[in-house]
Amino acid sequence: MPYPDPRTPPVDGVALSRRDLIARGLACAAGGGLWVGGLRLGQPLARACAARTDPEPRARAVIHLFLQGGLSHLDTFDPKPDAPVEIRGSLRAVDTAVADLQFTELCAKTARVADRLVVFRGVTHTEADHSRGTHTMLTGYQPSPAVAYPSYGAIVSHELGLRNDLPPYVCIPDARTPELGTGYLSSAFGPFSLGGEPATRGFEVRDLEAPKSVDAARASRRRRLVDELDRRAAGDGGEFVGRADAIEATRAFYQQAFDLIGSEAAREAFRIGGEEQATRDRYGMTAMGQRLLLARRLVAAGVRYVTVVDGGYDHHDEVDRNLRARMPPVDQAFAALIEDLDERGLLDSTLVLLTSEFGRTPRINATRGRDHWPRVFTVLAAGGGLRRGLVVGASDASGAEPALDAVAPADLAATMFELLGIDPTKRLLSPGDRPIDIVRGGRLLTEVLA
């Protein structure tokens, strides 16, 4: 059946005229399903009806750098140079490109690009456990025994889908952290896991190329066989029987794989070896440098959400000494990413986040480390429709509590989704047709919007 209008695609096998779509849109509810006259229509139809008519989203992609373990805010982005030594530590504070804003000497390169950042210094939550803090910062929700909440990347994958034959959600180097998963959403919206380090000599993502022993005709026969197996696995009503989600997810992954293997431009995005050596050196020939460089390549090519995870920030002992070893590659790579995106004209459309699960205690402990502290810490953000050179909130004199303009993880989530063109007030359906808010209680941080 031909489309009545090229901008109105068929939904659930039914072609909708513009008039039909508007009529149905008037009946749309905020949830993942649509109720009309007591009949709940399918989610694809609901998504079509719920399509927003807002202007083009400010952010086309997100790069989320997550430093796992609990980065010390006092020793990086919120120094207290006038505090007693047991609070301030041994690291020297340095000026940034923003007046009256200081970082520590370990963040000197990031300090030079601070005029392009938003520095949230009053971020706060109540979860001092690693897994619970990670869940809070990667989903916007505190963990619940009743509901498995999806990660930000899974929500973006669900709501925005594929672009340019590339996976919508990619994790570098991998997605071993369970909080990066799909929660109550189908596993079809899970991340594409890189599975290796782009800094490794001769690095390439496995299985992006079709086997040389399989020609086009043979590949086509294999694809038809997969389609036939999917058809036979479906029940009379076209619904998959048995482990429906697993079958649907497998089919979705096969489709994405076929599209990715068949697109030279998509495969090229993963080939970090194609970068000029000067660019690779600018980011640093380190694990962090090459992870963030690959993230830039991927969002430039069409990936919507890239999470870069780096562990090793749980410094209960010798926090100064450990950070002196860990932070320089982060500082170099993060600053290079901001500058590179800006020079390429991509920063205004790419939201960059640097977060951790929580901060560290104000006072240095007996082993010269700092312990878990979720009551206040710092998050950096840039681009994607945010203002530049802005400091939001403040911690108190010892870095123990928010002193001004506290920000919750749900506030950050609501603002991120709004910038991506995803309605943060929307509800999605979990198993059992239970509607759940994409973000619960989050405030849109209008003061940070450009």
In a domain? residue 265: no
Q: What angle do CA 96, 305, 301 make, to 5 degrees?
A: 95
Cα atoms in the 13 Å half-sphere on the side-chain side of 418: 18
Residue 317 has pLDDT above 70, yes or no: yes
Distances 280 to 19, 161, 329, 333, 352 between C-alpha atoms, Å: 52, 30, 13, 10, 19
pTM: 0.81
pLDDT for res 42: 34
- C-beta separation of 308 from 66 below 8 A: yes
In a domain? residue 229: no
In a domain? residue 341: yes
pLDDT for res 216: 58
pLDDT digits (tens, 9 = 90+) for 331-387: 999 999 999 999 999 999 999 999 999 999 999 999 999 999 999 999 999 999 999
What is the phi/psi pair of residue 167, to 5°? -60, 140
**C-alpha 179: how far from its chain's center?**
12
In a domain? residue 243: no
Domain that holds residue 305: 61-200+275-422
Cα atoms in the 13 Å half-sphere on the side-chain side of 379: 29
Average pLDDT of span 254-260: 57
In a domain? residue 181: yes
Partners of residue 177 on adjacent β-strands: none
Distances 375 to 23, 101, 128, 261, 407 between C-alpha atoms, Å: 48, 21, 9, 46, 11
Provide the number of structural domains found in the chain: 1
Residue 22 has pLDDT above 50, yes or no: no
Residue 235 has pLDDT above 70, yes or no: no
Q: What angle do CA 227, 230, 236 make, to 5 degrees?
A: 125
Alpha helix positions (H), 66-151: 85-88, 108-112, 130-139
Count of CB atoms within 10 A of residue 41's CB? 18
* Share in percent of the chain as helix, strand, coil (round to 5): 35, 20, 45
In a domain? residue 231: no
In a domain? residue 84: yes
In a domain? residue 220: no
Residue 147 has pLDDT above 80, yes or no: yes
pLDDT digits (tens, 9 = 90+) for 278-299: 999 999 999 999 999 999 999 9
Count of CB atoms within 10 A of residue 357's CB? 30
> What CATH number is attached to the domain comprising 123?
3.40.720.10
pLDDT for res 39: 29
Task: Return mean pLDDT, the chain.
Answer: 84
